[in-house]
Amino acid sequence: MIWGEIKGSGASPYRTVADLAGPASKCTCPSRKFPCKHGLGLMLADAAAPVAAAEPPDWVAAWAKGRESRATAAETKAREPQKPVEEKAQAKRRQAREERVAAALDELELWLRDLMRRGLAAARSEPYAYWDRIAGRLVDGQAPGLARRVRALPGLAAAAPAAGAARREEGLALGIGRLALLIQAFRRLNALAPEQAASVRAAIGYPVTAEEIAARPDHTDDWAVLAHAVEEEDRITARSLWLVGRRTGALAQVVDYGAPGSPLPPVPAVGQDFCGALAFQPGEPPLRAVFREGRAAPSPSGFLPGRVSVGQALDGFAAVLARSPWTEVWPLRLDNVRFGHLPGEAAEAPAVGIGDATGCLALRANPHLPALVAVAAGGPVDLFGTYDGFGLSPLALVTEGRLYAVPAQDPRPVLMRAA
């Protein structure tokens, strides 16, 4: 146990204590990061020159005693026999949620009918509070997935390529149509295949239980880590890790969530391989996965398994929509494509796109796009990104046997390179 007082921006010094056996630390500073910079500094100072031994002051002894008490309580709880599952109470809770979700969907359907009756032009002029109000009702009705989609509606029109009002409203109409389709699909869950019904429930916001994940089969491969993507979702940090199996060519998305400022669990770095098993969550088509047994290892080479032409990728995206029409984005792996300018349909400046002899795709605006174009240097590359039907968001490219990935959180146009 080490401790100290550190002069910070406050009137009084911060009291910092760390348990090197944990490691764990606590500080009186207002930082929301754990460990904070004072705790890290204290441990680094001790590593450089161990501090002198002394009797701990009261505030250090109180913290240590609290840690011991919590550890003892956790150990005692772990030894206690598990309580039997109350199946009747569990079924009652499930039924109550189903009723709340059904009522929320009825309200959403009425709201959508009123929205379409007024017309998309009127909807585009509504303030954000108009959309947030019904989204809050969906959260209360335990349908958080639908609430997130509703909150995204006002941005769909702006996110569509600048090609006239008709094209911009197409994005909004598409989002509304997916919501209406999910409502109808939820009411017909019994008529759907189990995996397709699972994808409907996931889109609405039903969680996948640990028991369901434990029952899923293992998918063992050498999974090449293509990219990390981090974004904020309703005050929650979401990190997507994109992987592809070197032998099977299967794609997988591992998602971790955390509060802003809190650390996310460690994962293999871009350019490494995860040699082991993944378990795919229920859904059609399968994409979301969790790590099982395995280890991170150096990547033998930078290449993109399962890459296809632009035309084949668009056909694959259409096939995904046929199986799961409420899909918002889908990963694409493109083979031997080049960057170029796409002529605009209006007076706007030409957009940057990617293409080959079979077709071309518009690229989403991204601060890292100039760096990707520079790495390509006018030559053909293999590209990985996510596609929403309007534009492709590039996440990584492969050229001359090297993988270049867009940094997950760095706003500067700098690329991460992995051999």
Residue carrying structure tokens 């991460």? 416
Give the angle 47-51-56 at the CA atoms, nearest 5°.
Answer: 125
Torsion angles phi and psi, residue 363, rounded to 5? -105, 140
Alpha carbons 60 and 51: distance in angstroms, whole number: 15
* Residue 100, H or E segment: helix 87-118
Torsion angles phi and psi, residue 410, rounded to 5? -85, 120
Please, which residues have CB within 8 angstroms of residue 105's CB and are 6 or more apart in sequence? Answer: 141, 143, 146, 183, 186, 187
Q: What is the pLDDT of residue 164?
A: 47
Q: What is the pLDDT of residue 31?
A: 81
Decide: helix, strand or coil at residue 173: helix
Please, which residues have CB within 8 angstroms of residue 227's CB and are 6 or more apart in sequence? Answer: 241, 242, 270, 384, 395, 396, 405, 406, 408
Q: What is the pLDDT of residue 203?
A: 93
DSSP label at 308?
Answer: B
180: left (phi over 0), alpha (psi -120 to 50) or beta: alpha
Contact between 413 and 370 (Cβ < 8 Å): yes
Decide: helix, strand or coil at residue 177: helix
DSSP label at 52?
Answer: P
Alpha carbons 123 and 131: distance in angstroms, whole number: 10
What is the token pair recorded at 292? 């099982």
Q: What is the pLDDT of residue 264?
A: 79
* CA–CA distances in Å: residue 378 to residues 235, 309, 366, 381, 391: 40, 18, 18, 9, 20
Q: What is the pLDDT of residue 369?
A: 87
Decide: helix, strand or coil at residue 293: strand
* CA–CA distances in Å: residue 250 to residues 126, 221, 287, 303: 42, 9, 9, 14
Query: DSSP letter string over 338-359?
Result: EEEEE--SSSSPPEEEEEETTE
What is the token pair recorded at 410? 């760095």
Give me the tens of pLDDT residue by residue for the chain, a chain 419 residues long.
899 998 887 778 899 999 888 788 899 888 877 788 898 999 999 899 888 888 889 999 998 888 888 888 888 887 877 766 677 887 888 899 999 999 999 999 999 999 999 988 888 888 888 999 999 999 999 999 999 999 988 877 555 444 445 556 788 888 899 999 999 999 999 999 999 999 999 999 998 888 889 899 999 999 999 999 888 766 778 889 999 999 999 999 999 888 766 677 888 988 899 999 999 999 989 999 999 989 988 888 777 888 999 999 999 999 999 989 999 999 999 999 999 988 764 445 567 899 999 999 999 888 888 889 999 998 999 999 999 888 899 999 999 888 898 887 544 334 444 44
Please, which residues have CB within 8 angstroms of residue 53's CB and are 6 or more apart in sequence? Answer: none
Contact between 216 and 235 (Cβ < 8 Å): no
Residues β-bridged to residue 257: 238
The one-letter amino acid code at 177 reads: G
Contact between 267 and 183 (Cβ < 8 Å): no
E-only strand ranges, 108-212: none
DSSP label at 189?
Answer: G
Q: What is the pLDDT of residue 347?
A: 43
Contact between 274 and 294 (Cβ < 8 Å): yes
